[in-house]
Structure 1
Amino acid sequence: MTRIIFAAAAVVVLGGAAGVAGAGPLLTPSALAAQTQEQPIIIDIRDTGYEDGHVPGAIWTPYATFRGPSDNPGAVPDVAKLEAAFEQFGLEQDQPIVIVPEGRSDTDFGAAARVYWTLKSTGFTDLAILNGGTQAWSAAGFPVETTTNNLLASDLELSFSDRWLASADAVAATVAGSRDAVLVDSRPEDFFAGRSKHDLAVKPGTLPGAANLPHGRFFPNGGPVIAADLDAGPLRQALGLDAAPGREVVAFCNTGHWAATEWFALSELAGIEDVKLYPGSMVEWSQARQPMQNTPTLLGNLTRQIFGG
């Protein structure tokens, strides 16, 4: 069993994405409030709560829009459905977009990271996440509004790039040894070790040969705000990339939510190349009855039920 421990630290910025108005892939509330070069499209991705108060000017683009069906929520929606939704929202590929989650926990950040990944994969290039979301905005003393904002419908022609996507087939090839990649389980250790599982997963466990780098390690003191500056050096070393430069990294979790944070931290903040997200993750993998590691045996489960532990 391999478990990678890395404490997020504010050190040196290395190479991440350009972000809104050149500000980087993260914005603080103050930085968003000070945006004057080009007014960004602000999207509030909460499934509920928009009507109770949101960042002024924000439009409502619920997270559910970016997710798959109820039995496999990590799946990427059909690109035609994404295109229709984005046109209805009024999104434009040549305008900066700021993604605003709730910001109560690091799990909320995962929603923003998944939206960021989806937009980037469909050709949107000027993207940023409001670090800490609506909660940080309000805590900083900036006003919220309850007005429902809408943009004029846009006209898009989208395709979905696989540059940052690891398909189930690619993951299966990696597990089989015919494809070279580092598999990174972004879940807390209990999931990685097979002591917990998602309700939709057929059984607990992880991908064979995977290492564990929990997404929560990127959030100082367990808070909802991700560390803005990550040093790629310790991460590359921990993932074995120094010994194998150019090797792909594939992040996964239960449904491609926590793993989106992992992808964002490694790719957009630390600037590590060739980081991909397996969106369906362990729910999809286990439902397909693919080989797994750290899966307790029936005898082991019975022993724990009788004797505890």
Structure 2
Amino acid sequence: MKQLVTLAALAFAWLAAPAFADKLGPLVSPQALEAIEAASKPLIIDIRGNNDKGESLFEAGHIAGAVNAPYGLFRGPSDNPGQLISADSLQKVLRDIGADKDRPTVVAYQGKDISDFGAAARVYWTLKSAGFTDLSLLNGGIDNWKLAGLPLESGKAVLTPSSIEVTFSDQWLATTDDVLKIVNGDQKARLIDARPEDFWNGEKKHPAAARPGTLPQSEYFVHSSWFDNKPVIADAAKVKKLAAAGGFKNGEALVSFCNTGHWAATNWFALSELAELDNVKLYPESMVGYSNAGHEMANTPGLFKTLIKQVTGS
């Protein structure tokens, strides 16, 4: 009789546990991730690099079982950080850490501020474009995990390389050629600048950009708009309300951009993954790539005004 009760309890526990095939959803809280970790066995990709002293943040403390692939591995060179890395380069990164498209995958990051979320969103977008279908972001990152009182372990990761094959989908990608077609009226889409207003109106620029300004015909919707309890992004229900209030809806093409496709990834994530709008694309190179290619821009101050700002700093 005791054996039957034990078997029944085990069966109930197995049925109650989340199945491996159950999708995590685009956002997962620290508490939810801890609860499903044993059953779903997600791959946790920690994208943190080194601190100011050159010490590995991952090795100092990470979620048990996580692997480390710093954000820079998913980015372009310093003169064009938003540039896509090649499929071969991405494939090597993912093989080295043992990534598998059939395994639930969570992107973890530091979570120190709102801008930090953009790094995780950009990696999420890259992985989704590479064919991952069960993806999630750890909302609030490692800082939020620690705030919840959950444990970390130190040291290097134990890696089991995979044989993943990577091809890159353009379903969520807007290239410079696509943007030029929109600017020239050959295609229709709303161009959404994720940067603060002073970037959009030409008062500030990224150091790697040729000049300040924005895309012609663009509007801005600041990436910070989605955050409630900073730096934790709002839940899907609130994001849907914010998207509706911003006039974003299904049936229209949206292209999210910023300086280097970092803040823009936050807007893309909120609109595509949380608000579930059906045609949202990210322009990875954004204004650095666009301005350095010499294309027409809007809200760019005259040369004299720009020189005065550079000299006076005002």
TM range (shorter): 0.7 to 0.9
Match of 2:232 in 1: 225
Structure 1 pair 240/268, CA: closer, same or farther in 2 (3 Å)? closer
Question: Is this contact kept in 1: 2:260–2:284, CA < 8 A?
Answer: yes
SS of 1:261's equivalent?
Answer: helix
The residue correspondences of 1:198-237 to structure 2 (distance < 5 A) are 198-220=206-228, 223-229=230-236, 230-232=238-240, 235-236=243-244
- The normalised TM-score by structure 2 is 0.86
What are the within-5 Å matches in structure 2 for residues 159-308 of structure 1?
159-220=167-228, 223-229=230-236, 230-232=238-240, 235-236=243-244, 238-239=246-247, 241=249, 246-301=251-306
Distance 1:249 1:20, change over 3 A: farther
Corresponding residue SS for 1:37: helix
Cα offset for 1:236? 4.4
1:191–1:197 Cα contact (<8 Å) kept: yes
The one of 119, 122, 130 aligned to 1:122 = 130
From the superposition, tell whether residues 86 and 216 of structure 1 become closer, same or farther in structure 2 (CA, over 3 Å): same
**2:29 is matched by which residue type in structure 1?**
T
Which structure is larger by alpha-carbon Rg, 1 or 2?
Answer: 2
1: distance between equivalents of 2:308 and 2:195?
25
C-alpha offsets along residues 217-267 of structure 1, whole Å, 9 cap, x if unaligned? 01115x1111012353652463464xxx52210000000000000000000
Distance 1:283 1:189 in 2: 17
Task: Please tell me whether the aligned partners of residues 257 and 283 of structure 2 are also in contact (alpha carbons under 8 angstroms).
Answer: yes
Question: What is the SS of the residue equivalent to 1:276?
Answer: strand
The change in CA–CA distance for 1:224 and 1:233 in structure 2 (over 3 A counts) is closer
| Residue equivalent to 1:23 | 24
Q: In structure 2, the residue corresponding to 1:22 is in which secondary structure?
A: coil
Per the alignment, residue 6 of structure 1 pairs with none
Give the root-mean-square deviation of aligned CA atoms. 2.1
Q: Is the 8 A contact 1:182 1:239 kept in 2?
A: no
> Does the CA-based 8 Å contact 2:113-2:231 persist in structure 1?
yes
TM-score (norm 1): 0.88
Higher helix share: 2
CA separation of 1:106 and 1:308: change in aligned 2, threshold 3 A: closer
Q: Specify the code of the residue in structure 2 equivalent to 1:227.
A: A
The percent of aligned pairs where both chains have the same amino acid is 48
Q: Can you give the 5+ residue segments of structure 1 that lack an aligned partner in the other structure?
A: 1-18
Where does the alignment leave 5 or more consecutive residues of structure 2 unmatched?
1-19, 51-56
